[in-house]
A and B are shown apart, each in its own frame.
Chain A
Amino acid sequence: MSYLFIQFLDTVHQNNADNYLPIGLQLIFAAGFVATMLALSAIVGPKRATKDKLATFTSGIESHGDARQPMAIKYFLVAILFVLFDVEVIFFYPYAVNFRELGWSGFGAVLMFVAFFLVGFVYIIKKGALKWED
Chain B
Amino acid sequence: MTLLSLNIDWILLIEKLALIAIVVFASLGIALYTTFGERKVAAILQDRPGPNRAGPFGLLQPLADGVKMFTKEDIIPSSASKWLFILGPGLAMTASLMTCAVIPWGGTIELFGRTISLQIADINIGILYIFAVVSLGVYGIMIGGWASNNKFSLMAALRGASQAISYELAMGLSLIAVLMLSGSLSLGDIVKQQQAGWWNIVYQPLGFLIFFICALAECNRTPFDLPEAENELNFGYHQEYSSMKLGFYLFAEYINMIMSSAVMASLYFGGYDIPFVNDAELQTHLGNWVALFQVGTLLIKIVFFIFLFMWIRWTIPRFRYDQLMNLGWKSMIPLALVNMLVTGALVLLKMNNWHF
Q: Are B86 and A38 in contact (CB under 8 A)?
A: yes
- One of B121, B180, B334 near A19 (C-beta < 8 A): B121
Q: Are A75 and B243 in contact (CB under 8 A)?
A: no
Q: Are A132 and B166 in contact (CB under 8 A)?
A: no
Interface of chain B: mostly helix, strand, loop or mixed? helix
Q: Are B24 and A130 in contact (CB under 8 A)?
A: no
Kindly provide the distance from the CB of B237 to the nearest chain A CB, expressed in whole angstroms. Answer: 12
The size of the chain B interface, using a CB distance under 8 A, is: 91
Expressed in whole angstroms, the Cα–Cα distance for A53 and B73 within the complex equals 11
Q: Which of B210-253 contact A (CB under 8 A)?
A: 234, 239-240, 243-245, 247-248
Q: Are B161 and A41 in contact (CB under 8 A)?
A: no
Interface of chain A: mostly helix, strand, loop or mixed? helix
A2 located at the interface, meaning its Cβ lies under 8 Å from any Cβ of chain B in the complex: no
Q: Decide: A107 near B77, CB < 8 A? Known: A19-B121, A45-B72, A75-B162.
A: no
- Give 1 or 0 for each of A78-116: 1 = CB within 8 Å of chain B CB: 110010011001101100111110011001001100100
Q: Are A56 and B234 in contact (CB under 8 A)?
A: no
Q: Decide: A107 near B73, CB < 8 A? Known: A21-B3, A68-B149, A132-B325.
A: no
Q: Are B73 and A30 in contact (CB under 8 A)?
A: no
- One of B2, B165, B244, B340 near A92 (C-beta < 8 A): B340
Q: Are A93 and B20 in contact (CB under 8 A)?
A: no
Residues from chain A with a CB closer than 8 A to the CB of B159 are 75
Expressed in whole angstroms, the Cα–Cα distance for A98 and B16 within the complex equals 32
- One of A17, A42, A49, A104 near B1 (C-beta < 8 A): A17
Q: Decide: A18 near B2, CB < 8 A? Known: A67-B148, A100-B183.
A: yes
B330 located at the interface, meaning its Cβ lies under 8 Å from any Cβ of chain A in the complex: yes
Residues from chain A with a CB closer than 8 A to the CB of B121 are 19-23, 26
- One of B89, B149, B244, B348 near A67 (C-beta < 8 A): B149
Expressed in whole angstroms, the Cα–Cα distance for A62 and B238 within the complex equals 19
Q: Are A100 and B351 in contact (CB under 8 A)?
A: yes
Q: Which of B78-107 contact A (CB under 8 A)?
A: 78-79, 86, 89-90, 93-94, 97-98, 100-102
Q: Are A114 and B183 in contact (CB under 8 A)?
A: no
Expressed in whole angstroms, the Cα–Cα distance for A3 and B60 within the complex equals 58
Q: Are A34 and B155 in contact (CB under 8 A)?
A: no
Q: In this complex, what residue of A is CB-closest to B23?
A: A26
Q: Are B185 and A97 in contact (CB under 8 A)?
A: yes
Expressed in whole angstroms, the Cα–Cα distance for A35 and B234 within the complex equals 28
Q: Are A15 and B124 in contact (CB under 8 A)?
A: yes
Kindly provide the distance from the CB of B143 to the nearest chain A CB, expressed in whole angstroms. Answer: 13
Q: Are B125 and A12 in contact (CB under 8 A)?
A: yes
Q: Are B151 and A41 in contact (CB under 8 A)?
A: no
- Give 1 or 0 for each of B17-32: 1 = CB within 8 Å of chain A CB: 1011100100000000
Interface set of A (CB-CB < 8 Å, partner B): 11-12, 14-23, 25-27, 29-31, 33-35, 37-38, 40-42, 44-49, 51, 53-59, 63, 66-68, 71-72, 74-75, 78-79, 82, 85-86, 89-90, 92-93, 96-100, 103-104, 107, 110-111, 114, 117-118, 121, 125, 130, 132-133
Subset of 9 A-B contacts with CB under 8 Å = A25-B13, A29-B20, A34-B94, A40-B244, A54-B76, A86-B172, A92-B340, A96-B180, A107-B348
